[in-house]
Amino acid sequence: MDMWNILEYAAWALSVLFAALMLVDLARVDSTYDNDLLTSSREGEIEATQERHQI
Amino acid sequence: MAYQPPKQGFVAQIVDVVVLLVLTVGALYLPLYLGLAGATKTPNPIENPTWETLNQNVVEQQQWAALGITDPAAANDIVTARFNYDFSWTALIVMAVLVIGYFVMVVRLSDKEYREVIDERFGPKR
Amino acid sequence: MANVTSTAAAPERLQLLRVLGPGHVWALGVGIVLVGEYMGWNFAIGKGGMIAGLVACWVAGLLYTCVAMIDSEVTSTVAAAGGQYAQAKHIVGPLMAFNVGLFLVMAYTMLEAGNAITIGFLLDTVAGMQGHSGLNQQPFIILAVMFLAWLNYRGVLATLTFNFVITAIAFLAIIILFLVVQFGGSNVPLDFSAVAEEPLPYGWVGIIASIHFGLWYYLGIEGTCQAAEEVRSPSRSLPYGTMAGIMTLLIAATLTWYVCSGLIPWEYLGQAGTPLFDAARVTGSTGLMVLLFIGTIFSTLASANGCINDASRAWFSMGRDRYLPIWFGAVHPVYRTPYRSIVFLVPIALIFALGAPLDQVVTFSILSGLLGYTFMSFNMVMFRRKWPLETIKRGYVHPFHPLPAIVLLVLCATAYIAVFLGYGTQLIAMMCFYIVASLWFHFWRYRFVRRGDQFTMPWPRPQGY
């Protein structure tokens, strides 16, 4: 078992860690907030408020 | 009256995503499984290769050495490999028809949908 | 809640966070692309010889200059996440937009998979050099994708600041290699005799064929548009960052061709896995080798990072318009990123990174990009026709219209033939995929889309409609 074997295991462990961080947060957010709020983003808000493109 | 889309159930949403995924994976892996994918170079090794017959000058020989290849025989396959660019005109025409036909189809169907969008957004055409 | 923007019209709205400047736009564009200089472009030399490689470098450079000019004008006017997707929706129509959205997601996800494969391959090489054969590449491929996805999940500012730093280092590495070689720091001198002896081993058809991989020098620069909803001043930052990006790449591409062609026999270069790293090996300098190894790793990470960013924005925008299930159109309440799209695309990227060979994945990516550039050419003409210059204010107006659009279309046609020479089956398979997907969208999926809501820009009615 040399350094590269240890690195392999470390990579597996870190992959699981990052995946878990994302999934746990996703589950937490989805159960805490209302879905209508989460999907409330609309395209074109920037144009509607400040970049009107009028001559 | 503006068009009101039907509500889509949760299961139907998942089915839609799965359909797209199957199409994508299929398009990538099907040519692979059918063994039709990829262009390969074919080496045409020469007999008793030397750096001279392989057409490598003195500087190039130093470069090969720096890359870890000091024996001309080891470079033989790399140096003599060539692509084959013979192609059939039928296949080229099939490709052209597919690409052009695809864009024509998409733009025409889009235009039909686009007119509905504009009418709903700006009111019917005067 | 402090982190929720509220406008007078709507009660509470979550928006993507608007924090980026032109430097981040540059980092996003160049970061995705620069990996093309570290690997891949050199197959152009394999497909056509040294001169063909240089011609391909500049012809593709011209193609992408047109792309950057056209993109800068349209995006400085359509500031929406999804970039070309939102452009297509406003200018050509919904079905085109769906297709463009797919081009973007495919091109970036496949490129991301290609980058992850390369990281695994590099580490395997290094492990091999240290006497450890048979490294299991899977955990490193998965780790690269997971870490970058997590970074993207946590916020766009940190993600692109990280990209800025590693991209700048990778770019400087190319400049330093050029300077050292130019001022005689190399054990082996530059040698361009093959240019005179074997200018075109395949004749003229080799030049056309090599354009296929010539695209690799620049593929992805158009991704700058995806950041439109997150930059502080889209109409200024986007043209500035995109144009600075294409200039950086033209310089880097030419330097790369020069150093590599001079230091490596073209037959070897045409099949090398990591050409710049190999060039550093030929110089015999350990310092340069380490530098270019770091550059290779950084450029691959930067590219995968930018790809996750861009693919998730495109997927998110399509969800927001219900082209895909609305579930994907969600913004994280704290980090303000399209978090569900980011997470969803992770396993997709892994399917391709772990299951398919590199050249397949990359060809799929190149083809999707190419379809997108073809769209841009007629999109530009339609944009000027439906909204002539005097009807709406643009952040940037590109010169010589319609010349760039025409040049772009001609170059795209050439590039299709280039891909066809060798990868015809994939091209046809992919066209079939997009045709089937289009029919599916038109006859099934489009019924869930609200018609008028798709047009979100405060523009007047298009002329002729």
Mean pLDDT of C209-228: 89
- pLDDT given at position A52: 67
Place of tokens 């047109």: C66
Give how many domains chain B has, as a whole number.
Answer: 1
- pLDDT given at position C142: 97
Give how many domains chain A has, as a whole number.
Answer: 1
Do residues C432 and B101 touch, judged by C-beta distance below 8 A?
no
> Within an 8 Å CB–CB cutoff, is residue C447 touching chain B?
yes
CA distances C124 to C5, C131, C132, C366, Å, are: 47, 10, 8, 26
pLDDT digits over A13-48, tens only?
999 999 999 999 999 999 999 988 999 888 887 777
Q: Domain range holding B63? A: 41-86
Is pLDDT of C2 > 60?
Answer: no
Q: Exposed (0-12), middle (13-18) or buried (19+): which is B111, by Cβ within 10 Å? A: middle
Does the residue B65 lie in any domain?
yes
Q: Whole-number mean pLDDT of chain B?
A: 87
Gap between the Cα atoms of C456 and C321, Å rounded:
11
pLDDT digits over C40-69, tens only?
899 899 889 999 999 999 999 999 999 999
Helix (H, G, I), strand (E, B) or coil at B42: strand
Is pLDDT of B35 > 90?
Answer: no
Tell me which residue of C199, C114, C215, C203 sits closest to C418, measured CA to CA.
Answer: C215
> Within an 8 Å CB–CB cutoff, is residue A21 touching chain C?
yes
Is pLDDT of C6 > 70?
Answer: no
In this prediction, what percent of chain C has a pLDDT beyond 70?
A: 98
Listed by start position, the domains of chain C span: 22-447
Q: Whole-number mean pLDDT of chain C?
A: 91
pLDDT digits over C329-386, tens only?
999 999 999 999 999 999 999 999 998 888 778 888 889 999 999 999 999 999 999 9
Shortest alpha-carbon distance between residue C242 and chain A (Å): 19
* Count of Cβ atoms closer than 10 Å to residue C116 Cβ: 29
- pLDDT given at position B118: 94
**Touch between A and B (at least 3 CB pairs under 8 Å):** no
- pLDDT given at position B103: 97
Which phi and psi angles does C231 have, rounded to 5°? -90, 150
Q: Domain range holding A39? A: 3-49
Is pLDDT of C391 > 80?
Answer: yes
- pLDDT given at position B8: 84
Does the residue A28 lie in any domain?
yes
Does the residue A13 lie in any domain?
yes
- pLDDT given at position A47: 74
Gap between the Cα atoms of B84 and B86, Å rounded:
6
Instruction: State which residue of chain C sits closest to B60, comparing Cα positions.
Output: C265
Query: Which of B8, B27, B117 has its CB closest to that of C448?
Result: B8
- pLDDT given at position A14: 97
Cβ under 8 Å to A: C residues 266-305: none
| Beta partners for residue B42, in sequence order | B82
Angle at C173 between CA C170 and CA C178, to 5 degrees: 140
> Within an 8 Å CB–CB cutoff, is residue C235 touching chain A?
yes
CB contact under 8 A, C282 and B66: yes
pLDDT band at C216 (very low <50, low <70, confident <90, very high): confident
Chains meeting A at 3+ CB pairs closer than 8 A?
C
Helix (H, G, I), strand (E, B) or coil at A30: helix
pLDDT digits over C307-342, tens only?
999 999 999 999 999 999 999 999 999 999 999 999
The CATH number that domain C22-447 falls under is 1.20.1740.10
- pLDDT given at position B38: 60
> Within an 8 Å CB–CB cutoff, is residue C232 touching chain A?
no
**Touch between C and A (at least 3 CB pairs under 8 Å):** yes
Does the residue B48 lie in any domain?
yes
CB contact under 8 A, C147 and A14: yes
* Count of Cβ atoms closer than 10 Å to residue C180 Cβ: 18
- pLDDT given at position C355: 86
Chains meeting C at 3+ CB pairs closer than 8 A?
A, B
Do residues C79 and C235 touch, judged by C-beta distance below 8 A?
yes
pLDDT band at A1 (very low <50, low <70, confident <90, very high): low
Query: Which of B57, B62, B121 has its CB closest to that of C455?
Result: B121
Does the residue A54 lie in any domain?
no
Mean pLDDT of C418-437: 87
Mean pLDDT of C390-399: 91
Does the residue B24 lie in any domain?
no
DSSP string, C325-393: -GGGG---TTT-S-HHHHHHHHHHHHHHHHHS-HHHHHHHHHHHHHHHHHHHHHHHHHHHHHS-TTTS-
Instruction: State which residue of chain C sits closest to B66, comparing Cα positions.
Output: C282
Q: Ramachandran region of residue C363, left (φ > 0), alpha (ψ -120 to 50) or beta?
A: alpha
pLDDT band at C426 (very low <50, low <70, confident <90, very high): confident
pLDDT band at C97 (very low <50, low <70, confident <90, very high): very high
Gap between the Cα atoms of C65 and C245, Å rounded:
10
What is the ipTM metric for this complex? 0.92
pLDDT digits over B76-107, tens only?
988 988 888 888 889 899 999 999 999 999 99
Tell me which residue of C241, C253, C214 sits closest to C370, measured CA to CA.
Answer: C214
pLDDT digits over C442-460, tens only?
999 999 999 999 999 999 9
List the structure tokens of C276: 């710049």
Does the residue B77 lie in any domain?
yes
Chains meeting B at 3+ CB pairs closer than 8 A?
C
Gap between the Cα atoms of C465 and C461, Å rounded:
7
Shortest alpha-carbon distance between residue C341 and chain B (Å): 12
Gap between the Cα atoms of B10 and C420, Å rounded:
41
> Within an 8 Å CB–CB cutoff, is residue A50 touching chain C?
no
Does the residue A17 lie in any domain?
yes
- pLDDT given at position C371: 95
Do residues C157 and C19 touch, judged by C-beta distance below 8 A?
yes
* Lowest-confidence pick of B3-12, C53-62, C302-311: B3-12
Cβ under 8 Å to B: C residues 427-446: 427-438, 440, 442, 445-446
Does the residue A44 lie in any domain?
yes
